Amino acid sequence: MESNVATIVQTVELKKTYMLGKVPVFALRGVNLKVESGDFVAIVGPSGSGKSTLLNMIGALDKPTEGKVLVDGVDVSALNDDKLAELRRRVGFVFQFFNLIPRLTASENVELPLTITGLSKNERRKKTFELLKAVGLGERVDHNPTEMSGGEQQRVAIARALANNPRFLLLDEPTGNIDSKTADMLVGLLRSLNEEKGVTIIMITHDLNIAKHAKRVIRLLDGKVEETNIGAE
């Protein structure tokens, strides 16, 4: 590894315990992870292994029970709600079920994070169009998510995640709800983003065919990192 590459995300003995009724569920039991700028990491593991919990914590959507999540060296668990919100603006999240807002058009969905950040209308419009073009949806800007295929919706979601030039992209089973052909296309898009634009990517998947496109694969099992660098090209 080159010494001048910055660590973007680091977790230190990260633990998360949920209460399911009165039964504690140990979702994460001490995860140590380091992701560097320009990396493309795939996280694999069976359901219940804590993948999503880990991702939510890295994306500042959730707080750890114990341990630390460092984003750009800053401990996320020490931040207040406002600071967390600001941090999320520098993180691009892509979900399995797209999570687009149905009443808004594709372009309005992509525009939303830019609106939240407070960009001017002109800048927003311009950037939105570029983003949608970049994911190959330049023609479909005025369609509602309900009028789009799963693959198209996921591409809108990726465009939205990229809107604020995030430090890294977090993808939670991005291909989980689309057919394999579209999934391949999507992974191609992610690879080109990573290789050409240098976007750091952390992606959860249970599909090894998808995972193999990553530079690095991490396997989680029962809330712990079991092995790294399996199956990477």
Partner 1 sequence: MNVLDIFSYAFSSIRLRKLRAALTTLGIVIGIAAIVALLSLSEGFRIAITSQFERGFALDVLTVTTGQGFGFGLGGASSGTSDEYLTLNDTRAIYGITGVKLSTAITSKSVGLSSGDLTFTITAMGVNFTEYSQLYSTSFIAESGSMPNSPENDSIILGARIADPWQNGTVFAEVGDYINVSWITGSITRPVVKNYVFHVVGVLKEIGGFSISGPSDTQVYIPISTAQTIFETDRVNQILVQLVNSEQTTIDSVTASVESLFNDKVSVLSPAAVLNIFSSILSTVQLFLTGLAGISLLVAGIGIMNIMIVSVMERTREIGILKSLGMKNKTVLVIFLCEAAVIGLLGAVIGIGFGYGLSSFVARFGLALMGGEGNGILSEQGAGIGFNITPVLTPTVIVGALIFGVATSVLFGLYPAWRASKLKPVEALRYE
Distance CA 88, CA 144 (A): 25
> For the purposes of burial, counting CB atoms within 10 Å of the CB of 129, is it exposed (0-12), middle (13-18) or buried (19 or more)?
middle
Q: By three-state DSSP, how is residue 82 classified?
A: helix
**Burial grade of 229 (CB within 10 A; 0-12, 13-18, 19 or more):** exposed
Task: Kindly state the smallest distance separating residue 184's Cβ from partner 1, in Å.
Answer: 26
How far from 106 is each of 131, 153, 173, 232, CA to CA, in Å? 11, 8, 21, 34
**Considering CB under 8 A, how many residues would be counted as binding partner 1?**
27
Per-residue x/- marks for partner 1, 115-154, CB under 8 A?
A: xxxx------------------------------------
Cα dist from 64 to 18, 79, 189, whole Å: 10, 12, 32
Nearest CB to partner 1, comparing residues 118 and 233: 118
Which window, 96-104, 143-151, 185-193, 206-214, contacts partner 1 (CB under 8 A)? Answer: 96-104
Q: Is 74 in the site for partner 1 (CB under 8 A)?
A: no
Contact 53, 204 (CB under 8 A): no
Binding residue (CB under 8 A) for partner 1 from 7, 17, 37, 56: 56
- Among residues 14, 83, 78, 4, the alpha carbon closest in space to that of 37 is found at 4
Helix/strand/coil for 36: strand
User: Which of 85, 208 has the CB closer to partner 1?
Assistant: 85
Site for partner 1 in 97-116 (CB under 8 A): 99-101, 103-104, 112-113, 115-116
Please identify, among the stretches 28-36, 40-48, 55-63, 222-230, the one whose residues bind partner 1 according to the rule CB under 8 A.
55-63
Nearer to partner 1, 44 or 114 (CB): 114
Binding region for partner 1 (CB under 8 A): 56, 59, 61-62, 81-82, 85-90, 93, 95, 99-101, 103-104, 112-113, 115-118, 160, 164
